[in-house]
Amino acid sequence: MIEMQLSKALNAWNTPAFEQVLKQEIQSLHGKLLPLQQGLSHSSFAIEQDFTVVILGVSESDTLICVKSGIFYTGVIPGCSCADDPSPDNAYTEYCEIELSIDKSTAETCVRLLTE
């Protein structure tokens, strides 16, 4: 489980802008803070920038805001990149789902990869 703070999202909670602010805040994070490598299914190395976040659902308890989110990103299979190498492009579109649990009093956020 990965921990971080999503204070902008917490400040936008219960406003019409919440999902957009949350999406922007997640997309501004360094990919190392998300379980992209663990979510790979078609490749072996996650590219940790230029990912897209989709908010799938939001719920709350007395202390937490719980968000289910999908992330589209790129993964590669490292190998020879010689100029005369006839092998096809080694970049693949990857997708994983995560759950974010945002503490309503501190904005401390736990992120975990959702598996099927």
Q: Is 111 in contact with 2 (CB distance < 8 Å)?
A: yes
pLDDT of 115 reads 85
Task: Give the Cα separation of 57 and 13 in Å (integer).
Answer: 14
Q: What is the mean pLDDT of residues 76-84?
A: 69
Does the pLDDT at position 70 exceed 70?
Answer: yes
Q: What is the mean pLDDT of residues 54-79?
A: 94
Q: What is the pLDDT of the chain when averaged over all its residues?
A: 91
Does the pLDDT at position 87 exceed 60?
Answer: no
Task: Give the Cα separation of 38 and 25 in Å (integer).
Answer: 21
pLDDT of 3 reads 82
pLDDT of 85 reads 59
pLDDT of 82 reads 62
Answer with the residue of higher pLDDT: 82 or 29. Answer: 29
Query: Which tens digit of pLDDT belongs to each residue from 43-59?
Result: 999 998 899 999 999 99
